[in-house]
């Protein structure tokens, strides 16, 4: 049996070697012919398994067998996939002429199908070449040159979207061209147009409120582009639009607003805008229990947006939402935690004690913030508060003695990394409360790995565990 296995292994090895020799002995013309059989361009690894394809292997062989001059000529080959691979090879070789080749080939609008990892794309050859060269060293002047060429001459390319986002308001040279493209129906053009903050453009920006666009590529919707534009340029002419769409329903149901909407509205920072936010929050809180996923998602969108543009007024909205809904996001918590520790501790306690009877159960994505809330609470709780928390912590577990649960994982993680003596002592107390020998052993091993504590601390904490 042993010799049979060795024999098969040797046969497999030599067959692979023979196949490799067969491939490498192909001429450049044969390799190019293989690549041109399909319009696909593959990366090194494709799909969930990271498969290595024959097409990519042909690309590797092309780089090995072809001279730089041959590859240079293949940039003009009849096959779109060959042109892409040839340009890619020149970029990897850091060929001096690669940028000038790109400039000449920006008019190449033939489409290929790309496969990189799990992602499939349908770029033009020009867009593929732009993306390839952008991944490598390129000067700011060259990047600006590509942006200008695409903005003025090659507006059919997908890269136009990126060129729009790259526009800065101090570059007045592009203003007229961007305005022209917006007037022609390119909805994404209103995003850079808004950066110039010209009142004469408000009507152009608002013209996309009905969702109309002539854009070939919809990187974002006309509605979102309009909201981005308002965020950049919160002119009073746009506020009626925001007010009109504040309570819009879909299929008869109010679904809250997007983060982009909140970001736009928060730029105004007026009493009327805060009142509008408060009314939206009230409607979200009134959503039915059956709509809990929608409710928590909408609350999260609003809380994160309020945290992005904090004021005393927006802070009060976050606190009110936390108090009344039991919903808090990581961003909102991190924003509030250094404001008023006593108030935050009261909110956390109220939150914890409401969870067992809440249909919301700390909302669907709550686990993402446990890693921040629990250490904060353990560090700042007084002795009385902590004594109350010990039995409550076990109640809050999804499964009472499930050692893989969120809380237990958190305690073990803190024992492994924390340098805060109060947090360490309280985590050992909470672990001990489970009365589980295996769990105590895990905690002891975690303490051994903690480089932030002294030998004396380690011995004291381990003693506390047992």
* Pair (370, 319) in one structural domain: no
Q: Do 255 and 294 form a contact (C-beta atoms < 8 A)?
A: yes
* Pair (267, 321) in one structural domain: yes
Q: Do 105 and 87 form a contact (C-beta atoms < 8 A)?
A: yes
Instruction: Indicate whether 282 belongs to any domain.
Output: yes
The confidence score (pLDDT) of residue 362 equals 43
Instruction: Indicate whether 213 belongs to any domain.
Output: yes
**Range scoring the smallest mean pLDDT among 118-132, 236-250, 298-312, 384-398:** 384-398
What residue has token string 């802070």? 315
| Confidence class for position 401, pLDDT limits 50, 70, 90 | very low
Cα–Cα distance between 146 and 26 in angstroms, integer? Answer: 37
* Pair (222, 186) in one structural domain: yes
Instruction: Indicate whether 185 belongs to any domain.
Output: yes
* Pair (183, 146) in one structural domain: yes
Instruction: Indicate whether 284 belongs to any domain.
Output: yes
The tokens for 339 are 């404001």
Q: Has residue 6 got a pLDDT over 90?
A: no
The confidence score (pLDDT) of residue 19 equals 42
Instruction: Indicate whether 94 belongs to any domain.
Output: yes
Q: 104, 137, 170 — which closes off a domain? A: 137
* Pair (437, 374) in one structural domain: yes
Q: Has residue 14 got a pLDDT over 50?
A: no
Q: What is the pLDDT of residues 133-175, one digit of tens each?
A: 998 878 889 999 999 999 999 888 999 988 998 888 887 889 9
The confidence score (pLDDT) of residue 291 equals 63
Specify which of 74-83, 94-103, 306-315 reaches the highest per-range mean pLDDT: 74-83
Specify which of 53-67, 344-358, 371-385, 391-405 reaches the highest per-range mean pLDDT: 53-67
* Pair (325, 380) in one structural domain: no
Q: What percent of the chain has pLDDT over 90?
A: 46
Cα–Cα distance between 158 and 246 in angstroms, integer? Answer: 32
* Pair (154, 133) in one structural domain: no
| Confidence class for position 368, pLDDT limits 50, 70, 90 | low
Q: 137, 167, 193 — which closes off a domain? A: 137
**Range scoring the smallest mean pLDDT among 70-79, 97-106, 190-199, 348-357:** 348-357
Cα–Cα distance between 40 and 44 in angstroms, integer? Answer: 13
The confidence score (pLDDT) of residue 403 equals 38
Specify which of 229-238, 309-318, 427-436 reaches the highest per-range mean pLDDT: 229-238
Structural domain containing residue 445: 366-466
Instruction: Indicate whether 73 belongs to any domain.
Output: yes
* Pair (27, 130) in one structural domain: yes
Q: 206, 235, 264 — which closes off a domain? A: 235
* Pair (303, 334) in one structural domain: yes
Q: Has residue 449 got a pLDDT over 70?
A: yes
Q: Has residue 432 got a pLDDT over 70?
A: yes
Structural domain count of the chain = 4
**Range scoring the smallest mean pLDDT among 230-239, 386-395, 414-423:** 386-395
**Range scoring the smallest mean pLDDT among 34-38, 78-82, 353-357, 358-362:** 358-362
Question: Mean pLDDT across the stretch 226-247?
Answer: 95
* Pair (252, 337) in one structural domain: yes
Question: Mean pLDDT across the stretch 10-23?
Answer: 43
Q: Has residue 119 got a pLDDT over 50?
A: yes
* Pair (156, 119) in one structural domain: no
Instruction: Indicate whether 267 belongs to any domain.
Output: yes
CB atoms within 10 A of CB 122: 10
Cα–Cα distance between 154 and 166 in angstroms, integer? Answer: 16
Q: What is the pLDDT of residues 43-66, one digit of tens each?
A: 998 888 888 889 999 999 999 999
The confidence score (pLDDT) of residue 213 equals 83
The confidence score (pLDDT) of residue 361 equals 44
* Pair (145, 130) in one structural domain: no
The confidence score (pLDDT) of residue 300 equals 85
The confidence score (pLDDT) of residue 396 equals 67
**Range scoring the smallest mean pLDDT among 84-88, 186-190, 289-293, 328-332:** 289-293
Question: Mean pLDDT across the stretch 186-206?
Answer: 95
Average per-residue pLDDT for the chain: 84
Instruction: Indicate whether 17 belongs to any domain.
Output: no
Cα–Cα distance between 148 and 167 in angstroms, integer? Answer: 10
């Amino acid at each position: 049996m042993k010799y049979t296995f060795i024999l098969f292994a040797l046969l497999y090895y030599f067959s692979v070697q023979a196949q490799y020799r067969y491939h490498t002995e192909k001429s450049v013309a044969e390799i190019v012919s293989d690549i041109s059989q399909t319009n696909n361009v593959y990366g090194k690894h494709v799909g969930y398994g990271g498969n290595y394809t024959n097409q990519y292997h042909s690309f590797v062989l092309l780089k090995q067998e072809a001279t730089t001059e041959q590859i240079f000529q293949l940039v003009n080959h009849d096959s779109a996939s060959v042109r892409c691979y040839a340009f890619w090879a020149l970029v990897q070789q850091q060929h001096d002429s690669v940028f000038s080749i790109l400039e000449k080939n920006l008019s190449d609008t033939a489409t290929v199908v790309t496969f990189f990892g799990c992602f499939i794309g349908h770029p033009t050859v020009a867009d593929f070449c732009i993306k390839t060269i952008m991944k490598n060293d390129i000067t700011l002047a060259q990047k600006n040159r590509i942006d200008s060429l695409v903005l003025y001459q090659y507006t059919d390319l997908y890269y136009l979207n990126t060129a729009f986002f790259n526009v800065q308001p101090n570059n007045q040279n592009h203003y007229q061209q961007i305005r022209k493209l917006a007037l022609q129906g390119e909805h994404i053009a209103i995003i850079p147009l808004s950066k110039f903050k010209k009142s004469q453009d408000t009507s152009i920006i608002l013209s996309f409120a009905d969702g109309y666009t002539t854009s070939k590529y919809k990187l974002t919707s006309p509605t979102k582009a309009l909201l981005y534009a308002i965020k950049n340029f919160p002119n009073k002419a746009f506020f009626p639009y925001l007010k009109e769409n504040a309570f819009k329903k879909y299929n008869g149901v109010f679904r809250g607003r997007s983060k982009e909407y909140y970001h736009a509205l928060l730029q105004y920072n007026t009493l009327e805008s805060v009142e509008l936010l408060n009314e939206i929050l009230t409607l979200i809180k009134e959503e039915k229990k059956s709509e809990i996923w929608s409710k928590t998602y909408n609350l999260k969108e609003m809380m994160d947006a309020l945290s992005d543009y904090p004021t005393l007024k927006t802070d009060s909205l976050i606190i009110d939402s936390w108090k009344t809904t039991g919903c808090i996001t990581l961003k909102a918590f991190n924003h509030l935690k250094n404001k008023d520790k006593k108030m935050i501790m009261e909110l956390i306690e109220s939150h914890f004690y409401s969870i067992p009877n809440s249909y919301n159960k700390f909302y669907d994505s709550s686990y993402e913030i446990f890693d921040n809330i629990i250490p904060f609470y353990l560090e700042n709780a007084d002795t009385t508060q902590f004594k109350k928390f010990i039995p409550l912590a076990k109640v809050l577990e999804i499964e009472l003695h499930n050692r893989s649960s969120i809380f237990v994982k958190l305690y073990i993680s803190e024992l492994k990394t924390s340098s805060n003596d109060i947090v360490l002592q309280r985590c050992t107390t909470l672990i001990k409360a489970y009365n589980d020998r295996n769990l105590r052993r895990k905690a002891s091993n975690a303490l051994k790995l903690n480089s932030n504590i002294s030998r004396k601390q380690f011995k004291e904490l381990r003693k506390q565990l047992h």
